Structure 1
Amino acid sequence: MKAELEFLQNHSLTSVLRRELEALILSGEFAPGERLNENSLATRFSVSRGPIREVCRALAEKGLLELVPNRGVFMRRIGEDQAAELYDVRAGLFASAARFLATKVTAAQISALESLLDRMEEAVRMHSLDIYYPLNLEFHDSILRFAGNGRLHKAYSELVKELHLFRERALQQGGGLEVSNVEHRRIVKALRDGDEAAAMEAAFLHVLSGKARMTLPAGTGHSTGEATGARDIV
């Protein structure tokens, strides 16, 4: 019984540490290529190095960290070519989710998506990326959730997390928030119409539009409210 309790306690601790460290990574706490100090992290979370090491291994398997033998744990650095590959896969997954959802979307789900679009429109008028960005993430995640395929949702979410590591340049370019939300509305219209092909195409092209913006030279853009923060707004 004692061994079982210790296992549960350690497992719970590891789960909490994993969530906390992952949140720090995705928030930009560490720079690409930066070495993570296990001792500092252990002190920060008031734990021993063992759980920290275990969590780092788990996050390395998810593609967020990189383990270098005899050197330590480093933030994974994602280059433009790798980011482009992630976009291509993400486009396919998002398109599949939109197609699935078009076959069974409910009025309540359409209403929820349209409410998010209206709130994003207000953020556009305010030129506020800080307001727009979390709503954008919620919009995409809602489509994946509503599609009802857990494996697809999980795979898509992991790709989004990896793309958070791509911080080499601003991704909000070539049309910015306005273009992104116009594309969102095309997706929702196709879903409302129950048009599987149109929903799939609109979702696929939306993500590829984000990929195209990524390849523009830094600073390119012609939309008001464009920010220099490296955030993916597709």
Structure 2
Amino acid sequence: MIVLLPPSETKHPGGDGPPMRLDDLSYPELSPLRAALVDELVELSADPPECRRALGLSASQQIEIERNAALRSAPTMPAINRYTGVLYDALDIESLTGAAAGRARARLAVGSALFGILRADDSIPAYRLSATSKLPGRAALSTRWRPLLEPVLTRLAADELVVDLRSGSYAALGKVSDAVHVDVVSERLDGTRAVVSHFNKAHKGRLARALATSRSEPTDASAVATIARRAGMRVERKSNRLTIVVPA
């Protein structure tokens, strides 16, 4: 099983790994576009006003531009430790030890606008590029990634069950055939429901942790739902789509 996570805009700084080597990352067939995007971000960082427009940054986020300028020389850390935020707080990878940590690092992957897809231990620097960023003079990132990324994801899904927890903009970079998809809804006392926005990341992080550390190896959506329920989550299933139901 592969649990495919969304990235986060915020990243832990620094790292103790050597500068990034694109050819050492998983799925080297993605290296040409990865290299092109790194070059474009480094070049774009030389023009801060244009960089802010392209990446949706404010004047106070100069550090993000500096990080992109240093992509080729910056220290690295494993991807699963690089990303921060609500989902990654709930996942809490740092607290895992022993066999649970090993299972998690083998099962977790991250979708990325810069790298396409990363496995947990792929070493990367801090960077800023979102799926909705519009690099000057270039086609949309979804247009550029889809022809390369979808064949990789299709092969991945042919070998293992993929639980796709990415948001819509990242899923648009490359769809996964036959993946298990997850929604989060809140239920009011009268039974009416609404889609959960911000806090869905926390619930998906909890689900990711349960799946990543489970001793069982699910092969379908029903088995994924069983693991989630054992973790105390209320889950409904319709075909390959699961809905986590939380109190409003």
TM over 0.5: no
Higher helix share: 1
Higher strand share: 2
TM-score (norm 1): 0.26
TM-score (norm 2): 0.25
